[in-house]
């Protein structure tokens, strides 16, 4: 049995506010900016605090400045280091401000670029309606992960379904199934099913449902059943529950 993770109390809101107030007095664009004022908080550093401070910043450059300081605090009495969740937090805030190059550079030179992280790039570009950019990042991660990129597959499927690009969604889905490097999960199947259902292609949705190599979840069932009900095919909807 895996050892239980140590419990950490949530960060003190007043501490988060104090750090945020200090950051707001600093100009992160000043090349001569010094991080020494932050050293007073070094003994309080833990991943939960770092994540909450990052999420509290309205200015992404303040968040990045704090993150960079916490990467190598002086002193470092707790031997603090960033966890994956910390990298996710800083990546998300940079992407939410369309700072894609900055986020990539940070990850490339520190934590490393992974399928899980690039999936967030794909979603962020999809949120902006930049389908071409989302596909570019998908091909990038697929190349260096040698196809082992289920998170990015799922992300691009979600982006394309939201844009009603069902033909393109099916092309990516078919590629995922045919190559067999990674196995589709319930999210992969459900996203493809949702894409077909959005376009009224219920027969195609049912085919994907029948071919699932894992158990459907509640969302999967609801998606297919609702699609049949909208078509007035109550018999097929009932059959989904009985099969």
- Other Cβ atoms within 10 Å of 32 Cβ, number: 5
CA distances, 69 to each of 31, 41, 170, 233 (Å): 14, 11, 45, 60
Model pTM score? 0.86
Radius of gyration of the chain (CA): 22
* pLDDT, tens only, 169-213: 999 999 999 999 999 999 999 999 999 999 999 999 999 999 999
CA distance 95 to 87: 12
pLDDT above 70 covers a percentage of the chain that reads: 96
Least confident of 5-14, 70-79, 127-136, 234-243: 5-14
What pLDDT does 31 receive? 83
3-class SS of residue 133? helix
* Helix runs in 57-111, H state only: 60-71, 84-96, 100-108
What pLDDT does 33 receive? 87
* pLDDT, tens only, 60-91: 999 999 999 999 998 999 999 999 999 999 99
Question: What letters, b where the CB count within 10 A reaches 16 and e where it falls short, cover 45-66?
Answer: bebbbbbbbbebbeebbbbbbb
- Other Cβ atoms within 10 Å of 90 Cβ, number: 29
What average pLDDT score do residues 156-163 get? 98
3-class SS of residue 76? coil
CA distance 133 to 125: 6
What average pLDDT score do residues 128-133 get? 96
């Amino acid at each position: 049995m895996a050892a239980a993770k140590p419990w950490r109390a949530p960060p003190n809101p007043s501490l988060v506010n104090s750090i945020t107030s200090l950051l707001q007095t600093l100009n992160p664009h000043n090349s001569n900016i010094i991080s020494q004022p932050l050293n007073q908080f070094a003994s309080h550093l833990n991943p939960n605090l770092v994540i909450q401070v990052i999420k509290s910043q309205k200015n992404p450059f303040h968040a990045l400045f704090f993150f960079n300081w916490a990467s190598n605090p002086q002193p470092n009495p707790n031997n603090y280091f960033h966890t994956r969740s910390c990298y996710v937090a800083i990546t998300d805030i940079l992407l939410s401000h369309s700072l894609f190059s900055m986020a990539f550079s940070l990850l490339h030179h520190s934590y490393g670029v992974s399928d899980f992280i690039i999936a967030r790039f794909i979603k962020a570009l999809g949120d902006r309606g930049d389908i071409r950019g989302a596909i570019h990042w998908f091909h990038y991660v697929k190349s260096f992960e040698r196809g082992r990129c289920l998170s990015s597959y799922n992300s691009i499927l979600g982006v394309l379904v939201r844009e009603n690009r069902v033909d393109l969604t099916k092309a990516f889905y078919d590629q995922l199934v045919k190559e067999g490097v990674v196995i589709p999960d319930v999210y992969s199947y459900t996203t493809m099913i949702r894409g077909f259902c959005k376009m009224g292609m219920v027969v195609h949705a049912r085919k994907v449902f029948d071919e699932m190599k894992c158990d459907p979840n509640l969302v999967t069932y609801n998606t297919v059943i609702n699609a049949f009900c909208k078509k007035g095919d109550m018999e097929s909807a009932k059959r989904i529950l009985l099969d």
